[in-house]
Amino acid sequence: MPMMSDERLIEGTVRRIERGEDGTYAVVSVRGVLLRVLLDMVPDAKVGDRILLHGKVALAKLEDGDEVRG
């Protein structure tokens, strides 16, 4: 049986990049809340980019015109 999750794909804006021994992270603003997310799948993300998130992992950069429906 597949595992079910109530986590959804959400959009956030990169506010800060943090590099450390355990990887590269971004502090991302999502509806006014700051989250720390892993950037392994989006290594070219930079401050100001809109990114697609699932849980605490960035999945992709969003371009102008891209829309996340929830």
Rounded to whole angstroms, the Cα distance separating 27 from 70 reads 22
Grade residue 4 by pLDDT with cuts at 50, 70 and 90: very low
Percent of the chain's residues with pLDDT above 70: 83
Residue type, 26: A
pLDDT at position 25, please? 97
For the stretch 40-68, pLDDT in tens is 999 999 999 999 999 899 999 998 876 66
pLDDT of res. 27: 97
Cβ pair 35, 51 in contact under 8 A: no
Domains in the chain with CATH codes: 9-62 (2.30.30.140)
- pLDDT of 64 reads 80
pTM, entire model: 0.82
